[in-house]
Amino acid sequence: MKNWKKLRSEQGENLRIANVRFDTWKNPRNGVELKATVLEMTDWVNIVALTPEGKILVVKQFRLGTESVTIETPAGVMEEGEDSQVAAMRELAEETGYTTNDWTYLGWVEPNPAFQNNLCHQFLAKDIIRTHDTAQDEGEDIVFSEMTLDEVKNEIREGRMRNSLSLLTLSRVFDIWE
């Protein structure tokens, strides 16, 4: 399969969470031109954080897109030029007040390559301890708790934990589908 040829690109609106770009592409199979919308987004981080006892740290927060409270692993947006592990450490500390020196990079995924250009970097943080209060952004209202793997699996089975990036990051560490 061949890559498509980009014929032109124009910048659209600069939104708070993304820059909009309009690209015109030529399909090599049939020569048809297609105008596509691309959201230029900053990369993200997602963290499976484990206590010394092996409990999994989860966060609950209201999500505007689904208009519901979700249960997720700690996560966040990287700052421009920020190293992914530095971002993961910052996000874990800001959202929960937990820190650790035991970090493992699990890899990265493309959250939605159909129209986004960003990556989600995934980390395992072991032996986390609560070292300070949270420093949540003004748009955040996060509550965190520690859960056993069985409790997390139950939340998944019952449909209460359904954030795809959290589930994928968890699945890199545990067999959450058994």
Q: What is the percent of the chain where pLDDT is above 90? A: 92
Distance CA 76, CA 94 (A): 10
In this prediction the pTM is: 0.93
The identity of residue 171, as a single letter, is S
Confidence of residue 16 (pLDDT cuts 50, 70, 90): confident
Distance CA 17, CA 168 (A): 22
Task: Please pick, among 13, 138, 158, 178, the residue that the annotation labels catalytic.
Answer: 138
> Taking 80 as the threshold, does the pLDDT of residue 168 lie above it?
yes
DSSP string over the chain: -PPPEEEEEEEEEE-SS-EEEEEEEE-TTT--EEEEEEEE---EEEEEEB-TT-PEEEEEEEETTTTEEEEE--EEEPPTT--HHHHHHHHHHHHHSEE-SEEEEEEEE-S-TTTB---EEEEEEES-EE-S-----TT--EEEEEE-HHHHHHHHHTTS---HHHHHHHHTTS-TT-
| CATH tag, 44-171 | 3.90.79.10
138 has catalytic annotation: yes
- What tens digit of pLDDT does each residue of 97-107 get? 999 999 999 99
